[in-house]
Homo-oligomer: A and B are copies of this chain.
Amino acid sequence: MKSHTVTVIQPNQKRQSLVAFPGQNLLSLFTEHGLVLPSPCGGKGICGKCKVKILGQTRTIPAEYRLACQVRVSGDLAVELPDAEEKARIMMDSDHTVSLDPLITERLITLPAPTVGDQTSDVERVEQALGLPGCINPELFPALPAILRTSGYTLSAVLSGDEVLTLQTVHQDQLAASEQHLYGVALDLGTTTMVGYLLDLTTGQQLSTYAALNPQRLHGADVISRVDYTVEHENGLTELSQLVRAEINKMIAYFSRHDPTLPQSIYQMAIVGNTIMLHLLAGLEVENIAVAPFIPVVTRDFECKAAEVGIKINPQGRITILPMISGFVGADTVAAILASNLAEQAETSLLLDIGTNGEIAIGNQERILTCSAAAGPAFEGTNIRAGMGGIAGAINQVWINAELNYTTIGDQAARGICGSGVVSLTAQLLKAGLMESSGRLKSPDELGDDFPLKLKQRLCQFDGKSALLVAAQAEGATEDLYFTQQDIRETQLAKAAIAAGVRILLKEMGITAAEVKTLYLAGGFGNYIDPHEAVQIGLLPKELEERVVPIGNGAGTGAKMVLLSRKCLQKSRQIQAKTTYLELSTRSDFQTLFVDSLEFR
C-alpha cells in the first residue's frame, strides 16, 4: 500500500515525519504518535479545537487552516501545530488559569524499618510518614503488612485530599524513575450527548477525549420523558442508571485501548450534567423533580466510591458529582459559571448555556441568580424540520443577498441546519425582508418586483404551509432542506423564552443590559453563533453584542478544572452557595415578558 509523509512543524520543536496511509484521518495520525491535540467533541468537527495550519499538499486545498479531525491524508503534507504550551491551556479556555493542585495526589515514602526499640504499628508508621493521622481506611489494613515488607518499607500512597485511597509496593528501581502517572476523567453528561476527557493529573495535560450519545435516549429524547420512563417502568430507574454507567465504562475502555492497566491509575471522575442526568447516573429517583414544587433528592456535590457504582476505574477511585442549583439548573451550569470566572468578578456578567433548556445565570462575586427557560430544542436542531446537531454537514451560517449562500460544519455537503444556522437564517430572512418581524414568511406576491428572483423562487409551500428552500439537492445538499413557517414559530418560542429569562434576571438583579460587563456563551452553539445576528432577532440584548465571549464547553471545562484543582471544587461550592434559583414557571411577569419577546426585534 502506498503511504504518505506528513511533516509536523511545532514551535521550538524538531520537525517530525509521520507515515500515514492514504485516507488516514489527520487527528488520529497525530494521536497515534503522541501529538495530542485538544478535541473535546471527539473528532466530530464541532469544537474547532484541533485547528492546524496546512502548509502544502499535493492536492490543493483552498483553506489554509483546517480542523485536523476533518482532514484525510491524500498526499504528502506539511502541517504546523500550535504551540504545545498553548495546548496545555485547553482547560483554561476562558480568561483565567488554574494552577495544578488536584485532589488526587501520590506520595512516595520510605519508612524506617521497625526495631524492638520502635514497635510503631504498620498503619501508624505510614500515617506518621504521611503526616496524616487516621488517613488510612481500615479496608486497607489487611494488605499493608505485605506491602511494607515486600518493598523494604518503600511504598506509594495515592491520596484523595487527606484520605489514602491505595497503598502500593514500590521497588527501589522504580523509585529512581519519576512518580507514576495518575489520571482523572472529566465528564459532561448531557441529555443527548456525553463528552469525556482523560486528564493526566500529574501534569494537567489532556490526553484523550470521548464523545458518545447518551444511551438513555432510547427511553426518551428529553429529560421529562426519561423521568416518565422511571415512573412507568418498575425497574426504569435502575435500567437508565445502568445504561449510562455502561457507556461510561465504554469510555474508560476507549481511553485504555492502548494500555489495559490505565483504569487502575484513574482515581477520580468529576461529573457534571443537568440535575436529572446526574440523578439517573447516581440511581436517585427523579419523579419529584418533574412535578411542582420540583424537588431534587440532592443538589450539593457528593462523592461515591467507583466500585460502589460499578464504574471501572480504580475500585477505590472517587466519582465526584459537582454541585447543582435546582431541579432544572444543574452542575453543568455551575461548571460553566466556574469556567467563565463570572463568580470571581466585581462587575456583573451574564452567562447563557443554550440547549433544550436555556440555562441563564447573572451575577458577580457577591451573588448569582439563575433560571431555566424552557426554550425547547429548536437551537439544538430538534423540533426544526431540517434541524440537526452541530456536527459535520450542518448549515451553521447563512447569507442572503441576491442569493442565499451558506457554510456547513466541516465544509461537507449540507445535511441539515444546526442551532447557529437557525439563528443566522432567521436573522437573514428578517434583514432581507422575506419575513415580517411577527415571524410570518411573506409570499412571493408581497415582495416587490425588483426583489431578487432567485430568492423569491425559494419561497414555496411545504405540506400546505409557507416555507423556504434553504438548500437544494440539485445544488449539492444531500436532500432538499426547507425552513418552514412552523420552524420559525419554534424558533420564536425558543428565543422568546431565553430573552424573557434574561430580562427577568436583569430585573431581579436590578441592573440594565448596558451594565452587564460580559455575556458568556457556553456550548458549541455559543462558539458558532454570530452575536450581531442573535441581537437582530432579539435573542440577545443589543447592548451586549460587543461583549460576547464564547467559552466553549463551559461545563466540560469546569469539570476539568475541578479535577485539576481542589480550589476549583471549593469554588464550585461557593458558586452553589451564592446562587439563587428563580422559578419562572410560576411568575406572571415572565409570561408577560415572554409574550413581549416573541416578535423578532
Contacts and interface: CB of A to CB of B under 8 A. Distances in A.
A263 interface: no
B298 A123 contact: yes
Interface in A115-144: 115-124, 127, 133-134, 138-139, 141-142, 144
B300 A141 contact: no
A121 B297 contact: yes
B298 A115 contact: no
Contacts of A121: 295-300
A116 B586 contact: yes
Nearest to A299: B121
A304 interface: yes
Contacts of A138: 282, 298, 302-304
A145 B297 contact: yes
Contacts of A141: 282, 284, 297-298, 302
A116 B292 contact: yes
Q: Bin the interface of chain A by size.
A: 35 or more
A124 B294 contact: no
Nearest to A319: B138
Nearest to A144: B297
A585 B117 CA distance: 11
Contact of A119 (B119, B142, B581): B581
Interface string A325-351: 011000000000000000000000000
A293 B124 contact: no
Contacts of A326: 119
Contacts of A296: 119, 121-122
A285 interface: yes
Given A115-B293, A142-B285, 8 more contacts: A119-B295, A121-B295, A121-B299, A123-B299, A124-B299, A141-B282, A141-B298, A149-B288
Interface of A: 114-124, 127, 133-134, 138-139, 141-142, 144-145, 149, 282-285, 288, 292-300, 302-304, 308, 326-327, 581, 583, 585-586
